[in-house]
Structure formats: C-alpha cells, structure tokens
C-alpha cells in the first residue's frame, strides 16, 4: 500500500497516493527522456547523410548562380572587382554553405535537447514536491505557518485547511525556477551525510545553475546559434539529477515505485500458459 492522503475529502486531494504520484513522475520522466535520446540518435545517424545530400544541392545552386548575369555581381573580390567564379571560389562557397547548414542543425538539436531536458527535470522536481506534500504534509507547516485563515474557513477540518495552503504553495512553485524547486526538495528531504544513491554522481548546484543559464540564454537572449559546451555530459547530469531527486524523496518518506502503475496496469497481467 502506498501513502494515502491524510484527508480524502472530495475536492481536497482526491484519492491519489504518494506512491501513485511518485510512480507517475518516474514513468513520465522515462517516456520523455526517450524522446530526447531518440532525437539525438537520429541526428547522429542522419546528419552525415544529410551532409552528402546538401553538398549536391549547394553545388547545383552555386553552379546556377555562377552563370547568372545578375547573381555574378553579388560576389566580388577583396578589391571590389567582379569575381571570376573559378572552381576554387565555387568550392569555397559550396563547402561553406553545407558546413553552415550542418553546424546550424547540430546547434539547433543541441539547444532543443537542453531545453527539453531542463523542462523534464523541472517537471520531476515539482512533481516530487507534490509527493512530499502528500506523504508528509506536516513537513510543509514551516512554509505556511504565517498564512491567514479566512473566517469562512474556520469551520473546516485542520487537515483540509492545511492542504489548501499547501496546494496554493504548490501552485506558486509551479511557476518558480527549477533551482527554487530543487532547493526546496533539499530543504524538505535533507539527505543524511554521505547520501549517494547513484554511482559516479554527486549533486552539483553550480552546474545546474550554469545549465539553467544556458537554457535562459537560448530562449531569452537569442543565443540559439551559440555553441553549447559539454551537451552530452550535461544531459547525462540532468538525467542522473532526476534520479537523484527520486532517491532523495525515497530516503525521506520510503515511498516506492509501483511497477503496475509505471506500465499502466490496474492489476497484474495474466500469466501466460
């Protein structure tokens, strides 16, 4: 049995358990992460093939431009005189166009991968906070102790009033930064000394800050074409961070993944004869 909500009054928390939300969050992470990895795997296979096809397309374009009386005037020598459009120039233009297209495609894929991965981790952090709220609502009381209760709510059960405040807090957190969510998870689920549920991984807040800044730059500062350093390493860090946060919640509340919930079964599938 998973942790059942403390107050199952309809409209308060329904019948969701911490175990169900925990399982759903991990399952959603696995599905979403598959999309990101598929994008990168297809790109790794397709880009070399695309480079050959683009080289032919760009070669044809350069040839047509080189004999067009109007377009011939576009490319000039350093002294400003009309270009001779010799084979060296055509090869230079052809190669440059193809290399630029491939580099732009790779930059776009890297940028999209980082943005998607950041979004996936943000969802995990917020959802694991919901798990904490269901499993240990009393742990949220320091965060809501200064809230005022409306006179109309005075007759409500204490558990219902507490959940109303927690729910509002969760709604606010949904729009907060990833770092804010992760910091709160650490505050609620303070890990014991030496806590290391994942081999070859150590949580690094500064690294997460840099990843967040890179994502912000792509979206808000027109840095789409800016090369991203250590993309694969950062994606691996994000993936492991999600699993680390799962372990953080597990060590605090003991909540576990329900395999049936994870794979969408309501009951164990019938055994094969």
Residue 271 in any domain: the answer is no
**CB-CB contact of 243 with 198 (8 Å):** yes
d(CA 140, CA 126): 14
Residue 11 in any domain: the answer is no
Residue 204 in any domain: the answer is yes
* Domains in the chain, number: 1
Residue 7 in any domain: the answer is no
CA distances from 153 to 13, 119, 171 (A): 17, 36, 20
Average the pLDDT over each of 7-11, 153-157, 215-219, 246-250 and give the range with the smallest value.
7-11
**CB-CB contact of 131 with 21 (8 Å):** yes
Return the percentage of the chain with pLDDT > 90, whole number: 58
Residue 115 in any domain: the answer is yes
d(CA 116, CA 105): 16
Identify the band that residue 189 occupies on the pLDDT scale cut at 50, 70 and 90: very high
With 90 as the cut, is the pLDDT of residue 37 above it? yes
Q: Which residues does 200 contact at the CB level (< 8 Å), separation at least 6?
A: none
The mean per-residue pLDDT over the stretch 18-42 comes to 95
Average the pLDDT over each of 47-61, 176-190, 212-226 and give the range with the smallest value.
212-226
Residue 10 in any domain: the answer is no
Question: Which residue range is the domain that position 148 belongs to?
Answer: 18-262
**CB-CB contact of 243 with 30 (8 Å):** no
Residue 268 in any domain: the answer is no
| Closest residue by Cα to residue 198 from 240, 251, 246, 250 | 240
Residue 218 in any domain: the answer is yes
Q: Which residues does 123 contact at the CB level (< 8 Å), separation at least 6?
A: 25, 28, 29, 32
d(CA 175, CA 177): 7
What local confidence, expressed as pLDDT, does residue 150 receive?
54
């Amino acid at each position: 049995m998973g942790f059942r909500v403390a107050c199952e009054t309809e409209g308060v928390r329904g019948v969701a358990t911490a175990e169900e939300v925990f399982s759903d969050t991990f399952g959603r992470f696995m599905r979403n992460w598959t999309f990101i990895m598929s994008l990168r795997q297809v790109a790794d296979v397709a880009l070399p093939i695309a480079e050959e096809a683009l080289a032919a397309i760009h070669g044809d374009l350069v040839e047509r431009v080189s004999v067009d009386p109007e377009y011939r005037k576009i490319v000039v020598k350093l002294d400003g005189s009309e270009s001779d459009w010799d084979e060296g120039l055509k090869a230079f233009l052809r190669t440059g166009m193809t290399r630029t297209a491939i580099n732009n495609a790779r930059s776009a894929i890297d940028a999209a991968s980082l943005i998607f991965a950041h979004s996936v981790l943000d969802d995990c952090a917020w959802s694991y906070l919901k798990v904490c709220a269901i499993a240990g609502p009393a742990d949220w009381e320091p965060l809501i102790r200064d809230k005022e209760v409306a006179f109309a709510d005075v007759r409500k059960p204490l558990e219902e009033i507490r959940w109303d405040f927690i729910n509002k807090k969760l709604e606010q957190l949904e729009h907060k930064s990833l770092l804010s969510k992760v910091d709160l998870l650490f505050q609620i689920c303070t890990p014991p000394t030496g806590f290391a549920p994942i081999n070859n991984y150590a949580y690094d807040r500064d690294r997460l800050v840099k990843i967040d800044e890179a994502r912000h730059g792509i979206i808000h500062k027109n840095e789409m074409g800016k090369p991203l350093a250590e993309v694969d390493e950062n994606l691996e860090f994000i993936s492991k961070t999600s699993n680390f946060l799962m372990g953080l919640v597990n060590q605090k509340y003991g909540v576990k993944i329900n395999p049936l919930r994870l794979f969408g079964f309501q009951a164990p599938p019938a055994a094969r004869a």
